Amino acid sequence: MAQAAALDYQASTGDKYGPGNFLKLGVMMFLEFAVWGSWFTVLGPYLTNALKFDATQVGSIYGTMALGAIISMMVAGQLADRVLSSEYLMAIFHIVGAVLLYLLTKSTTYGSFWTLAFVYALVYNPTLTIANSMAFANIKDSTHFAWVRVFGTIGWIAAGLGVSYLLPAGSETTNRPLMVASILSLLLGLLSFALPHTPPSGKSGDALPFLRAFGLLKDPGFAIFFLLSFAITIALAFYYGFAGVFLGAVGVQKIAATMTLGQMSEIGFMLLLPFALRGLGMKFVLVIGMAAWALRYFFFSFAAGGTPFALVVLGVLLHGVCFDFFLAAGFIHTENKAPASIRGSAQALFSFLTYGVGMWIGNVISGYVVSHYTPSGPEGTPGTGLPDWHKIWMVPAIGATVCLALFIVLWRDKGGKVEEDARDAEKFPVEPVAVTPATANTTHG
């Protein structure tokens, strides 16, 4: 599959963007998401069962990833646009991240764990934006981003299966997944020095790219797109924070492996994404993605209420549609709309609002919702009984449905790029970007 994709990629983009760089970017994406996927889905069971943290504490620790994104994403785009080549940024952040992940394996108290997790979030989150910017910088057609990004999905799957089947039995509720993540992070940090050279794209003396990226919000269609992306990501946080705990509660033994079913479906939909954008247009693709989010939570809610367990599996499988047809498509939409000189910062702004502010608020809310619907245990201790998962999952299901309805009614996309500020455009003219038919179709709603 990888060889065929590489040949297709070379044929459509030319020798400069041949299979060599394609495979390097693929390895980068593979390890980028293997680092994350090796610990993220099983952290909840580890914190709950081994360290005995309550639901509010679990939600708060998951929230550090988003809180770190809020702070670091503002810096990441500017570094990539103005200061240092992206491959060196990747190396620095991942090597430091490997050390922090190792320290997390030794932490057993809530305060120290939260602090280390927050610092790690500050160094890992920028790499998500930088990896995307590197991929876009080394391809000509932005819709081909999906063919690079799919390697990240494969990496997440490989990490999840490895945690479930290669580590000793019971490892999913220990610190071993964090140790695996530390090793993978160090590997990616060292390999990053061999990634395609991607120098800063901004010009010396340019206005702060991240601040200029906020100018994109002057366009009503872009502003509504960002606002609703932020809102629906609040619902996404419920899945990342508590789906693993939920699966354990309904009897799933191999939690990490089961969660990878979502990434397996993601591979297929990621490969289909360029064709869906070409045939259906951006708006319809985004609507499908948002609808899948609502449907997934309804499935979880009904399954928790006693209906067939198959709904749990279907809910996990829907992750591919949820991610690819909304978040991945959203990165492509942002790339198509942003002027060339601030694309890194525009990607950072999208990540800031979704992976950052939206996920942080969502993690805090999800922790309180789970705590609220968890009664007292046998000894009368608050929040130690069995959670009412039917009511818990109904909250993000309704929230995602509201976001979907607002998006259908309000979002319009006129096509083309958002204009740069006239003074900036005059001083720093943007080089024209070749637009293929596939790319052009992604700008129509």
Cβ–Cβ contacts within 10 Å for residue 414, how many?
Answer: 11
CA dihedral 388, 390, 396, 398 (to 10 degrees): -130
72, 164, 161: which is closest to 123 by C-alpha? 72
| DSSP code at position 220 | H
Q: Which residues contact 174 (CB under 8 A, 6 or more apart)?
A: 46, 50
pLDDT of residue 236: 86
Question: How far is Cα 7 from Cα 17, in angstroms, rounded to an integer?
Answer: 11
pLDDT of residue 193: 93
Question: How far is Cα 77 from Cα 74, in angstroms, rounded to an integer?
Answer: 6
pTM for the structure as a whole: 0.68
pLDDT of residue 3: 44
Q: Do residues 180 and 163 touch, judged by C-beta distance below 8 A?
A: yes
- The CA-CA-CA angle for residues 29, 34, 40, to 5°, reads 125
Question: How far is Cα 185 from Cα 95, in angstroms, rounded to an integer?
Answer: 6
430 HSE (CA, 13 A, CB side)? 19
Burial of 391 from C-beta contacts in 10 A (0-12 / 13-18 / 19+): middle
Q: Do residues 396 and 235 touch, judged by C-beta distance below 8 A?
A: yes
233: enclosing H helix or E strand: helix 220-249
Q: Whole-angstrom distance between the N-terminal and C-terminal Cα of the chain?
A: 31
- Give, in order, the Cα–Cα distances in Å from 24 to each of 31, 138, 170, 186, 196: 11, 11, 34, 17, 7
pLDDT of residue 376: 63
CA 441 to chain centre: 24
Q: Convert 151-165 to b/e letters by CB count within 10 Å (16 or more is b).
A: bbbbbbbbbbbbbbe
Domain 16-441 has CATH 1.20.1250.20: yes
Locate 433 and state its tokens: 């970007």
Q: Do residues 312 and 442 touch, judged by C-beta distance below 8 A?
A: no
Q: Do residues 96 and 120 touch, judged by C-beta distance below 8 A?
A: no
DSSP track, 93-115? HHHHHHHHHHHHHH--SHHHHHH
Q: Which residues contact 14 (CB under 8 A, 6 or more apart)?
A: 140
Q: Which residues contact 60 (CB under 8 A, 6 or more apart)?
A: 114, 363, 364, 367
Question: How far is Cα 341 from Cα 337, in angstroms, rounded to an integer?
Answer: 12
Question: How far is Cα 112 from Cα 61, in angstroms, rounded to an integer?
Answer: 11
309, 164, 172: which is closest to 250 by C-alpha? 309
40, 45, 64, 103: which is closest to 363 by C-alpha? 64
Q: Do residues 266 and 153 touch, judged by C-beta distance below 8 A?
A: yes
State whether the Cα torsion 278-281-285-286 is positive or negative: positive
Q: Which residues contact 416 (CB under 8 A, 6 or more apart)?
A: 443
User: Mean pLDDT for each 10-residue chunk of the chain (445 residues)?
Assistant: 45 52 90 94 88 88 82 65 80 97 96 96 88 81 76 89 87 91 97 88 52 74 85 88 86 84 85 87 91 93 77 90 86 78 72 81 90 70 70 94 92 63 37 30 32
Locate 184 and state its tokens: 């993978």
pLDDT of residue 114: 96
- Give, in order, the Cα–Cα distances in Å from 266 to each of 31, 87, 206: 17, 26, 38
Question: How far is Cα 227 from Cα 44, in angstroms, rounded to an integer?
Answer: 28
pLDDT of residue 110: 95
